[in-house]
C-alpha cells in the first residue's frame, strides 16, 4: 500500500514527484505530500485525492532539483494533513516518507521525548525522522543505518536532508523499494510504475539493505555498511500498458484484457500432443516435485480463492493432498511440514506482507518453496526456490480481475504438470491441454455478453444484500463474486457453498434479497439446482450463471447469464467473468470509484 517516490538530478523535482505519485495512486491512499529542496525545504501535504495536492503545489513556488513524495493509506493516526507524509525532524533538516509499521514506535518516541524531541503527528513514521536526526552528523546514510538498527517492524523508507543535499537514502525491510539512475538523475520508488517513463533498468532492494542514490550513481550496503553487489533488472512492460486504452476505467480494461492475459499465461507452456505442461521455472526441481506427497498453498484475498480452485484441480487430476491456508494465520499455527511437502505462495504483487511472512515460515521448516507471481523482480519472486509467472501484465485496478483468471489458468497447468508426473493418462492430458488452448477464445465469447450483464446490473443495483452460491469448482467463484461486489459497490454480499444455505443463511431470503447462483452444467448441477429451488420457494430472486444450451434454468431463474461449455475444472475462468462485470456495472451505476475503492490498497505490505 502507499506510494513512495524520490528524485535527484538536474530537472525540477516537483513535476517528477507528482507524476510518480499519479502512477502509484492505484495502490490506494487517503492523503499525500511532498518536500522539494531548493534554497530551503518546501513541504506541502493534502488530504483526499491527489488533485488536492496538485492544486496546492500549483499555488506555491516549488523550485528545487531534488525531493521526495508520498501517498499515504492511514495505519497509525487519522487521515489528517498533519499525519500525512513527509514527516520532518525538529530542525526541518531530515524528511522521511515510509511504508510499513514501526512496532516499537512508542518505546522510541518516549526515549526521543526525553532527549527533547517534539512531535506534531500521531504517526509511527514521525519517530523515524527524529531518530535519524539524533544520529545525523552530516552524512545522511550513516545516520539512517544507525537509526534502522533500533527499529522493529517493517519499512520501505526514503530519506532526504537539507544539510546533505542531492542525496536520497532508502532502506527496506519487508516493504518494496526500487532504485534507478538513468544518466539525468536518480530515482527511488515503491513501485516501478512510478519511474518507468524515465527508465526500464532498475534495481530492487532486499531486506536489510540501504541505498544511497545521487544524480549519477548509487551504492547499496547492509546496515553494517558492507557494500552489496546488485543486479540490474530490465522491466518488460511499457507505460502504455498501464493506461486505460480508451476505456472509462482500468477495471473494465483489465476485464476485457483477459483473453490476452490468458494467452500470455499459457504461451509456450502447453505441449498438446504430449498432454503435458512445460513449466520452465519448475524443471530444476522436477524430481523433487515428483516425490511431493503434500502441497500447501497460501495466499490472501482473491489469490486465496484462485488457490481454492487449484486445490480441487490438483487433488482431482494429480492425486496430491492440497491444503489452502490463509497466509495471515499460517505462521501462527505451528504448521506441520514434512520432508516431501511443497509450499506454493500466490500473490499478484509479490509484495503481500502476510504471504511473505508465511513463506519465511515454510522455508524455516524446510519445505520446497514455490511461487505464482505476476510482478517480475518482486520480493516473493526473489525469495522462493522456484516459481511461475502468470504474465498478466500490470493490473492497475485495486480489485483483481485478470490476475485471478491467469492464476487459475497457471494452477490448471500445475495440475497437468503434477498429474502427468503421476497417473494422469496421455488421453486425459491431451484433453486438458486442448481445453486450456481454447480458453482465450471462450473468454472472448463470454465478454460479448457484457450488455446482458449490464441490464441485470441495472435491475438489481439498488439491492442492499446479495448471496452468491456454488458447489465444487463454482464454490470459490461464488466467494470471489461476493468479494468483488463488496469491494466495488460497497453492497453487503456473502458467498456460500450452495449446500450451506439451508443450514442458516436461507433465513434471510425474501423477495428483496437476490441470489447469484453459479450453476454450470457440471457434475454437481442437479445438487445446485435443488438448492436454487429452495431459495426460489422463499421468493428469493435468482440470477443464474449457466452453461450455454441449458434452457431448463430459465424456468427457475429470474435472469440467466450464459457462459460457453468447457471442462468442469476450467469453468471458474469463464463463470467469474459475468460476476466481475456485474460488480463493475453496479459500481459504475452507483457512482463508485471502481478503480480505487474506499479503504482498499492494491498491494498490502503490512500485516
Catalytic residue ranges: 2, 602
| CA neighbor of 256 nearest in space, from 24, 36, 580 | 580
Q: How far apart are CA 607 and CA 595, in angstroms?
A: 23
For 229, phi then psi, to 5°, come to -80, 135
| CA neighbor of 394 nearest in space, from 240, 540, 274 | 240
**Beta strands 368-373 and 341-347, pairing class:** parallel
- Residue labelled with grid coordinates 456460500: 496
Could you give the residue ranges of the DSSP H alpha helices within 494-570?
A: 525-536
CB atoms within 10 A of CB 573: 29
DSSP state of 227: B
Who's near 58: CB < 8 A, 6+ residues apart?
none
Q: How far apart are CA 264 and CA 389, in angstroms?
A: 10
Residue 295: beta bridge partners? 322, 342
Q: Give, to the nearest 10 degrees, the angle between helix 571-589 and helix 474-489.
A: 20
Who's near 192: CB < 8 A, 6+ residues apart?
178, 202, 235, 377
**Beta strands 153-161 and 492-497, pairing class:** unpaired
Who's near 448: CB < 8 A, 6+ residues apart?
none
Amino acid at each position: 500500500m502507499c506510494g513512495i517516490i524520490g528524485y535527484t538530478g538536474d530537472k525540477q523535482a516537483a513535476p517528477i514527484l507528482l507524476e510518480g505519485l499519479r502512477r502509484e495512486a492505484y495502490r490506494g491512499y487517503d492523503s499525500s505530500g511532498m518536500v522539494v529542496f531548493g534554497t530551503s525545504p518546501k513541504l506541502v501535504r493534502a488530504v483526499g485525492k491527489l488533485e488536492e495536492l496538485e492544486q496546492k503545489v500549483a499555488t506555491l513556488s516549488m523550485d528545487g532539483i531534488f525531493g521526495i513524495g508520498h501517498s499515504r493509506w492511514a495505519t497509525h493516526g487519522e487521515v489528517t494533513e498533519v499525519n500525512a507524509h513527509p514527516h520532518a525532524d525538529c530542525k526541518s533538516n531530515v524528511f522521511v516518507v515510509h511504508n510499513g509499521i514501526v512496532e516499537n514506535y512508542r518505546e522510541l518516541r518516549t526515549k526521543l521525548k526525553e532527549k527533547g524531541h517534539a512531535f506534531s503527528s500521531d504517526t509511527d513514521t514521525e519517530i523515524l525522522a527524529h531518530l535519524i536526526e539524533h544520529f545525523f552528523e552530516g552524512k545522511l546514510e550513516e545516520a539512517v543505518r544507525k537509526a534502522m538498527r533500533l527499529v522493529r517492524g517493517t519499512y520501505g523508507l526514503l530519506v532526504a536532508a537539507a544539510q546533505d543535499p542531492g542525496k536520497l537514502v532508502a532502506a527496506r525491510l519487508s516493504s518494496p523499494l526500487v532504485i534507478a539512475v538513468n544518466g539525468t538523475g536518480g530515482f527511488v520508488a515503491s513501485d516501478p510504475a512510478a519511474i518507468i517513463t524515465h527508465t526500464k533498468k532498475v534495481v530492487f532492494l532486499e531486506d536489510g539493505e540501504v541505498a544511497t542514490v545521487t544524480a549519477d550513481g548509487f551504492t547499496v550496503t547492509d546496515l553494517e555498511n558492507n557494500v552489496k553487489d546488485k543486479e540490474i533488472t530490465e522491466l518488460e512492460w511499457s507505460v502504455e500498458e498501464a493506461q486505460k486504452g480508451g476505456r472509462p476505467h482500468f477495471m473494465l480494461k483489465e476485464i476485457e484484457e483477459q483473453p490476452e492475459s490468458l494467452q500470455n499465461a499459457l504461451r509456450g507452456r502447453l505441449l498438446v500432443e504430449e498432454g503435458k505442461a512445460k513449466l520452465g521455472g519448475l524443471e530444476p526441481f522436477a524430481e523433487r516435485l515428483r516425490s511431493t506427497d503434500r502441497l500447501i498453498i497460501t495466499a490472501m484475498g482473491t489469490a486465496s480463492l484462485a488457490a481454492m480452485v487449484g486445490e480441487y484441480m490438483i487433488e482431482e487430476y494429480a492425486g496430491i493432498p492440497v491444503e489452502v491456508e490463509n497466509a495471515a494465520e499460517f505462521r501462527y499455527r505451528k504448521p506441520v511440514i514434512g520432508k516431501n511437502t511443497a509450499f506454493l505462495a500466490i500473490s499478484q504483487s509479490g509484495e503481500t506482507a502476510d504471504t511473505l511472512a508465511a513463506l519465511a515460515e515454510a522455508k524455516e521448516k524446510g519445505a520446497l518453496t514455490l511461487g505464482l507471481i505476476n510482478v517480475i523482480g518482486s520480493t516473493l519472486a526473489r525469495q522462493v526456490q522456484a516459481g511461475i509467472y502468470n504474465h498478466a501484465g500490470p493490473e492497475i485496478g485495486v480489485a483483481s480481475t485478470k490476475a485471478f483468471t491467469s492464476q487459475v489458468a497457471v494452477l490448471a497447468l500445475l495440475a497437468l504438470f503434477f498429474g502427468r508426473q503421476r497417473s494422469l493418462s496421455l488421453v486425459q492430458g491431451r484433453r486438458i491441454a486442448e481445453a486450456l488452448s481454447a480458453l482465450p477464445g471462450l473468454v472472448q465469447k463470454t465478454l460479448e455478453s457484457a450488455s446482458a450483464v449490464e441490464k441485470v446490473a441495472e435491475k438489481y443495483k439498488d439491492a442492499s444484500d446479495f448471496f452468491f452460491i456454488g458447489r465444487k469448482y463454482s464454490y470459490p467463484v461464488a466467494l470471489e463474486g461476493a468479494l468483488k461486489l463488496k469491494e466495488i459497490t460497497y453492497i453487503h454480499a456473502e458467498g456460500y457453498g450452495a449446500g450451506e444455505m439451508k443450514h442458516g443463511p436461507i433465513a434471510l431470503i425474501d423477495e428483496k434479497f437476490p441470489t447469484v447462483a453459479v450453476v454450470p452444467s457440471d457434475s454437481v448441477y442437479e445438487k445446485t439446482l435443488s438448492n436454487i429451488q429452495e431459495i426460489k420457494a422463499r421468493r428469493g430472486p435468482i440470477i443464474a450463471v449457466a452453461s450455454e444450451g441449458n434452457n431448463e434454468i430459465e424456468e427457475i431463474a429470474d435472469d440467466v447469464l450464459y457462459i460457453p461449455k468447457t471442462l468442469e475444472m476450467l469453468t471458474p475462468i469463464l463463470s467469474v467473468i459475468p460476476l466481475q462485470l456485474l460488480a463493475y456495472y453496479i459500481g459504475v451505476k452507483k457512482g463508485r470509484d471502481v478503480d480505487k475503492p474506499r479503504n482498499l490498497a492494491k498491494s498490502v505490505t503490512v500485516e
